[in-house]
A and B are shown apart, each in its own frame.
Chain A
Amino acid sequence: MIYEEPKYLPGGDRYMLIEFGDEMNLELNFMGQSLAQAVEENGVEGVIETAPCFASTLIHYEPEEIKFSDLKSEMRSLIETLGPSEDIELDSRLFYFPAVYLDPWTKEAIEDYCAKITEKEWDPEFIARLNGLDGVEQFVRVHSGTEYWVASLGFWPGLPFMMALDPRCMLTAPKYNPPRTWTPEGTVGMGGASTCIYPVATPGGYQIFGRTPVPIWDTQKRFPQFESSICLFKPGDRVKFVPCAIEEYEQVAAQVAEGSYQYNLVEYQRFSVKNYKTWVESLDTGARF
């Protein structure tokens, strides 16, 4: 649900987590993003940085400059000025990402986890079973059957937290217990109802089942998409995974290595929350592909 009154939760001596609700939807994500934007535009004294995510905004502040209680009232008045998300329309880039589903690389990482940390079911089978799907083939169809909304960046530089825009493709899964100590670069994974791409080899807690050769961050700025930022994505982008074979993966990886890869994206679309909601209401959300 979306809370009547957001929760203002302390994080040590210099953080405040503002939680707007306890579910995942576009409206909550817009509340988080809009507050972060309002903080930036208004230049609230004592605020160092913010980190909005699916249903919350983390505020990093300097208590020598603003007290927790004063920050709370400042944030409360900013939240009151935020308009309804219904009216939001924004430019939204759509990226097509080739991805090998059920790939050998993530399988190897899972086998290594099973050998060194604890036994677990192969992640795609596990997700398929938990979500009542026929098997891993249907899982691939469902997971790749929707556009994903980039709700925020975090965890690791450039990593996108994404949600399925088509409710018929929404899947859920628990996170690893305990987390993996390594994940291959470019891995596609999911935890809760969130899907991500791991920018580099890092530890991780999501279930993993695919790999893309397309870089999502680039400190060398070798591709024009990284001119203004070393992170490819920004909130409000969309991603569509295009299942591909290992041969195609390797072909793209070679193009990336030599710098000739061209990002496959469209930049002419505007995303309207109102139109999106109307579309969602017209669907039989119990259906699966």
Chain B
Amino acid sequence: MLEVIEPGLETSVQDWPGRLGYWNQGFPPSGPMDSWSFRLANVLVGNEPGAAGLEAQYIGPSLKFRRDGLIAVTGADMQAKLDGTAIPMWESVAVKADQTLQMAFAKTGARGYIAIAGGIATEPWLGSRSTFHKAGVGGMEGHALKKGQIVPVGEGHGQAGHKVAETARPTFPTDKRWEIEVVAGPNDDWIDEAGHKRFLGSDWKLSSKSDRTGFRLDGPDWTFTAKATDKAPEHGSEPSNIIDQGYPCGAINLAGQTPIILVNDGPSMGGFVNPYTVPRAAFWKLGQSKPGEIYRFKAVSVEQAQAMAHELRQVCSEASIAK
């Protein structure tokens, strides 16, 4: 068990791939934004890659262990210390009862991950332990960790000193610029050629009005094809309006002129077009970027995006662990 000494800015229980199967009732998957770092943290401590762990946003928590155990810290560098002594990231570390893990603000990246051998053992809700903050379900009482809470942990069996190979870790840019893969569609034919060129050729700044439901982007205006302007009135008259439809998780949702990337806690349906979709293998970049940073989008095919996911699955496994 863990005791929450300080919760950090927003530290929540997440599992991967999250709450699947309820998209047709409006429940999002939730789960870690950077599942690359998350899965490897679990593998390090001997858990299944998707076991429940903690995601900390911008500022990490302080946690006191109630019994001996094994942890791993990955993702953003939140300067983790155990009883005041710095501990390595991307490595399984033994902890003793009454020791305290302290984390601070993220020096690089935005989201840090903490896995503990045995996994977090809160009660699953609709098949997942992931926290869906906005609806107050999953995780610890539906919300981010609060000071004084006791977080239940399962029985683990991993070993200390396991490390993730350097080549298997995500690298964060030092110039605050990210290249994010996108696949055209489902509604790419609503955007004209100039609009596509502008989308792929411009800088997009991540807005501070972003959270786990959506990442708002600031950039140039969009232009449309006749399909967007000459249509049945039930779509709604604005060019970006379409008859409400299912949204892919990762869709770049064009709400009026504002593109919003729909992420882990995002809406399952709505009435705006989605000209592009960020494939899941690129989600970690969204998870590790901060408001004010710049995105450039790079078009890839469906097959390329699927190959990326396949490759990432290989990386997030025992094969990447040096013992």
Contact = CB atoms under 8 A, between A and B. Distances in A.
Interface in B216-274: 231-238, 240-251, 255-258, 260, 267-272, 274
A9 interface: yes
B107 interface: no
Given A58-B246, A158-B25, A231-B25, A172 B233 contact: yes
Interface residues of B, number: 65
Given A58-B245, A154-B244, A179-B256, 18 more contacts: A11-B183, A13-B280, A14-B309, A17-B186, A17-B246, A19-B186, A23-B232, A49-B21, A52-B24, A53-B246, A153-B26, A154-B25, A155-B268, A156-B26, A157-B22, A173-B236, A205-B270, A205-B271
A19 B248 CA distance: 14
A69 B143 CA distance: 40
A25 to B, nearest CB: 9
Interface in B1-59: 20-27
A6 interface: no
Contacts of B237: 130, 172-174
Interface in B120-161: 134-137, 142
Interface in A32-72: 36, 48-58, 60, 63-64, 68
A144 B165 CA distance: 63
Contact of A36 (B24, B231, B250, B309): B24
A241 interface: no
Chain B: interface secondary structure?
mixed
Most buried by B among A13, A48, A155: A13
B75 interface: no
Interface stretch (A84-92, A98-106, A189-197): A189-197
Interface of A: 9-15, 17, 19, 22-24, 36, 48-58, 60, 63-64, 68, 130, 152-159, 161, 170, 172-179, 181, 191-194, 200, 202-203, 205-206, 219, 229, 231
B187 A158 contact: no
Contacts of A229: 25
Contacts of A52: 24, 246
Contact of A11 (B251, B268, B269): B251
Contacts of B70: none
Interface of B: 20-27, 134-137, 142, 183-187, 209, 213-214, 231-238, 240-251, 255-258, 260, 267-272, 274, 277-281, 302, 305-306, 308-310, 313
A64 B234 contact: no
A154 B271 CA distance: 11
B248 to A, nearest CB: 3
Nearest to A60: B23
Interface hub of B209, B271, B272, B305 (most chain A Cβ within 10 A): B271
